[in-house]
Structure 1
Amino acid sequence: MQPGDALEELELGEQEQEAPKGGEHPLGNALWDRLIPGISIPPALLPDRAIALLSVLLALSFVLLMALSIVNFRRVSMAWEALEEARMRDESSHTAAWLNLSQVQHALDKQLSKEAKAVRIQLLNVSQEVEKMQGRMAQCEAGCGKELLGRLQDLEARNALEPVLQQLEEVKRELSVVLEESRGLSRILCPTCPPGWLQFARTCYFFSSTTKSWLEAKEFCGDLNGHLATVSSEQENKFLANHVMENRIFWLGLTDSSREGHWQWEDGSSLSVSFWNSGEPNNVGEHGEDCATIFSNGRWNDVSCSNKEAWICERSC
């Protein structure tokens, strides 16, 4: 090899080292193929593509975040609506419960007032009877006192004071027993009912032998300081039925003329017990059936108030 040839080869080697070939990446084709195999990107476009890829990733992340936020917001809204509906139902249930409690309290107060009124009437009757019995006992005590005084004087005259005192104590005990029995009878028995009336417990009943309309029968009982019969127990209903003549019906003081289907007694009290016949009351007929009657078997029936029927009056002893 000539010296000139060696110098030319050295210069060519230096030129190859100073400028890489146009298709070779600055990092080296081998290293780029390891990072992104199969894709060849010009060096000038690498920063722009990286920024675009990062922007796309950020946009996708933002969209995903918004979608998740919307889904969570809708879930929270649905949960809030469910809670609001539950609260409304709870308030409705509390309101209904309070209304029912108020109605029950009102009904109880009304029933207690009626019972208290009946008790006051009974106490008034008992007090009158006790006053009469006390008057009778006072008369008896006066008469007995005179008799005892006479017996005591006789015994003193015979110098038998000791037996007299013993007999006096016995008479006192007997008198106290009689007084106590009289008080007990005054609480149980009532005075004799008027002629033509029958007694049950502390009540007198009149069974008519003629017929009238319900209103006429009501007026008749009112003229006798009574009213058409009311029924408050099974025993009272049996008593009335036992005095109802066969194949006849008698008016009771029960009507729904003020409001159809709302049966109440003449004094305005509601039914506590009832003994309606099968299928009754049925309110049949052109003008309806608004007044109650009782059969001899104790069953009740509704008929027209203008019918002419027998009736039962009731009054206290």
Structure 2
Amino acid sequence: MKLFILLVFVMAADALDSCYTNQERKNIAELQNHILAFTKSVNTLKTGLKSKHTVWNGGCKKGWKPFRDHCYHLVQDKKTWFESERFCKKEGSSLVNVDDIDENNWLQSQFKVVSIFWLGITDGDLKHWINAVDYAPTKYFHWASGEPGNVGENCGMLQTTDGKWHDFPCGTQYHPFVCKKDVR
């Protein structure tokens, strides 16, 4: 708005051209050129930022889905749990850890295009399940009957047909996964 008022002032000054000296006219013309150049620069920056950071729905980048104050991205490329976690870290996120039943139900409903995906939890042979995000103990579980099961199955998965969790071998199974990060 200030730029518009300044531009109107400069244009009005141009209309009163006959009242100014040659030096004042030259200064006004130079100011008009600077304003036009500045306006073009601002428009160029706006266009560049929009193309670099296409943001939609709650502050999540294109391809990510918002829920509460987080963004989620399903990666259908099948990887081991370790490869999946590394991929998410490169994206500035981590494998999804589930905080409660509402988030679990949302994940189940949003990513039905795959039947199962890695969760960001592991027991690392310790008998205590922890989050891959901060290595804190996992507080919410939604295990299927009989799970967690076998020895050597140290990483969690969510099955989208029923939302139940299963444990699988971390390094020998290849599955899709979901990355999760805070809204920025």
Please, what TM-score do these two structures have when normalized by structure 1?
0.39
Residue in 2 aligned with 1:310? 176
Q: Is the 8 A contact 2:58 2:66 kept in 1?
A: no
In structure 1, what is the equivalent of residue 97 of structure 2?
A: 230
Cα distance in 2 for partners of 1:191, 1:245 equals 22
Q: CA shift at 1:196, angstroms? A: 0.9
Q: How does 1:136-147 map to 2 (within 5 A)?
A: none
- The corresponding residue for 1:207 is 74
Counterpart secondary structure, 2:60: coil
Deviation, 1:293, is: 0.2
1:289 aligns with 2:156: no
Q: CA deviation at 1:260?
A: 2.8
How high is the TM-score relative to the length of structure 2? 0.65
Kindly report structure 1 stretches of 4+ aligned residues shifted beyond 3 Å: none
Query: 2:76 touches 2:114 (CA, 8 Å); kept in 1?
Result: no
Deviation (angstroms), 1:201:
1.0
Shift of 1:210: 1.4
Partner of 2:112: 245
User: In the alignment, residue 294 of structure 1 is paired with which amino acid?
Assistant: L
Q: What's the secondary structure of 2:83's corresponding residue?
A: helix
Q: Which amino acid aligns with 1:265?
A: N
Mapping of residues 235-274 of structure 1, within 5 Å: 235-245=102-112, 248-257=115-124, 259-266=125-132, 267-274=134-141
SS across alignment from 2:104: helix
For 1:273, the aligned partner's letter is Y
Corresponding pairs, count: 133
**Structure 1 counterpart of 2:117, which letter?**
F
Q: Aligned with 1:222: secondary structure?
A: helix
- Deviation, structure 1 residue 191: 4.9
Do the aligned partners of residues 290 and 243 (structure 1) sit closer, same or farther apart at CA in structure 2, a change above 3 Å counting?
Answer: same
Q: Return 5+ residue gaps in structure 2 as ranges.
A: 6-56
Which gives a bigger RCO, structure 1 or 2 (Cα 8 Å, sep 6+)? 2
In structure 1, the partner of 2:163 is 298
Q: Distance in 1 between matches of 2:3 and 2:141?
A: 52
Q: State the AA in 1 paired with 2:104.
A: N
Deviations 1:120-167 (A, max 9, x none): xxxxxxxxxxxxxxxxxxx7xx589x6xxxxxxxxxxxxxxxxxxxxx
Determine the C-alpha separation between the residues in 1 that align with 2:114 and 2:75. 15
- Identity within the alignment, %: 32
Query: In the TM superposition, what whole-angstrom CA distance separates every residue of 1:10-32 from its partner, at most 9, and x where no partner exists?
Result: xxxxxxxxxxxxxxxxxxxxxxx
**Could you say if the C-alpha distance between residues 214 and 226 of structure 1 is closer, same or farther in structure 2, counting changes exceeding 3 Å?**
same
**Is the helix fraction higher in 1 or 2?**
1
